Amino acid sequence: MIKLSLKKIKQIQLEILSEFTKFCDKNNIEYFLIYGTLLGAVRHQGYIPWDDDLDIAIKRDDYLRVIKEFNNYSKEYKFISYEVDKKFPYTFGKIMKNNTIILEDCGYKYSGLGINIDVFPIDNIFESEKLRKKTMKRITFYRKALEIKGITFKKSKSSFKEAFKSRLAKLCLLVLSVKSIVKKIIFLATLANKEESSLRGITVWGYGEKEVMPSEYYEKSTKLIFEGKEYKVPLKYHEVLTQIYKDYMVLPKEEDRITHHEYDAYIVNGEKKYE
């Protein structure tokens, strides 16, 4: 195996992004760059300098199409999600490059996960404030449970008190499996899809109440440059970014410019262009 530099990891991520967006365009699937990738496109015309992943969002109906169709379309890349494999420990999907592997410092691991980009489903959100808050509160609880399940203590920088609380929380959550938590979050996030709604958002992950947006934000797209190529973004990307990040054009403090991922990536059978 060959260990890959961050530069090579990003090269592979961009190859995945290019292939997946070609698939979407070919199959009339509307996609949007989202989160740090959208912010990077607007503010840096590429990766946020301290970021190391790529995020895409698509509507739930299209997400289900990707589950059924993408792996028959591509031999070099693979779509993986809980719906594809019940052992998958995330509530959203990932498209990974075959012949690669990542080793991540996380309490729950998925064997065989390669270098990937994240694909988030966009779901309807209840218009009823009572139903919306009740559902979001339950999702938040299970999201926190999933995060606690993923905590490791080998390199923990937490204080003794914080570490003790985390260990106690992990003990209390032994009754819940990662599989059952993921299943519950997806169930709650898709409840409102059974009815018409003027609200949409990414509720399987993301920023909680900040995700509650008018459906029109995810109806039309425009294009922005990301690392030299044009990709689709929400037409109202300013409103989306403002709702999630507020003054998104203001750079964070130096000490906050850090990546949130810790992993090593390898290519299993060496390809010269990645060496």
Q: How confident is the model at residue 152 (pLDDT cuts 50, 70, 90)?
A: low
Q: Which residue has the higher pLDDT, 257 or 124?
A: 124
- Percent of the residues in the chain that have a pLDDT greater than 70, as a whole number: 87
Q: Express each pLDDT in 88-137 by its tens digit.
A: 999 999 999 999 999 876 666 788 899 999 999 999 999 999 999 999 99
pTM of the model: 0.90
Assess whether pLDDT exceeds 60 at residue 3. Answer: yes
Q: Express each pLDDT in 49-58 by its tens digit.
A: 999 999 999 9
Q: Express each pLDDT in 89-103 by its tens digit.
A: 999 999 999 999 998
User: Under the phi-then-psi rule, with left for phi > 0, alpha for psi from -120 to 50, and beta for the rest, what region is 35?
Assistant: left
Q: Express each pLDDT in 9-23 by its tens digit.
A: 999 999 999 999 999
Residue tagged 């958002």 (tokens): 201
Residues 6+ apart with CB under 8 A from 82: 88, 90, 91, 182, 183, 186
Assess whether pLDDT exceeds 50 at residue 180. Answer: yes
| Token pair of 238 as six digits | 């300013």
- For residue 172, give its domain range: 2-274
Mean residue pLDDT across the chain: 89
Cβ distance 119 to 79 under 8 Å?
A: yes
Look at the chain and report how many structural domains it folds into: 1
Cβ distance 146 to 92 under 8 Å?
A: no
Helices (H), 27-79: 35-43, 60-73
The reported pLDDT for the residue numbered 247 is: 95
| Token pair of 225 as six digits | 């440059």
The reported pLDDT for the residue numbered 270 is: 64
The reported pLDDT for the residue numbered 256 is: 84
The reported pLDDT for the residue numbered 242 is: 97
Q: What's the rounded Cα separation, in Å, for the pair 116 and 144?
A: 23
Assess whether pLDDT exceeds 90 at residue 139. Answer: yes
Q: Express each pLDDT in 32-76 by its tens digit.
A: 999 999 999 999 999 999 999 999 999 999 999 999 999 999 999
Assess whether pLDDT exceeds 70 at residue 175. Answer: no
Point out which residues pair with 93 in neighbouring strands.
119
The reported pLDDT for the residue numbered 128 is: 96
Residue tagged 């106690």 (tokens): 168
Q: How far is CA 263 from the centre of its chain?
A: 16
In this prediction, residues 168-173 reach a mean pLDDT of 53
Assess whether pLDDT exceeds 70 at residue 169. Answer: no
Q: What's the rounded Cα separation, in Å, for the pair 85 and 119?
A: 15
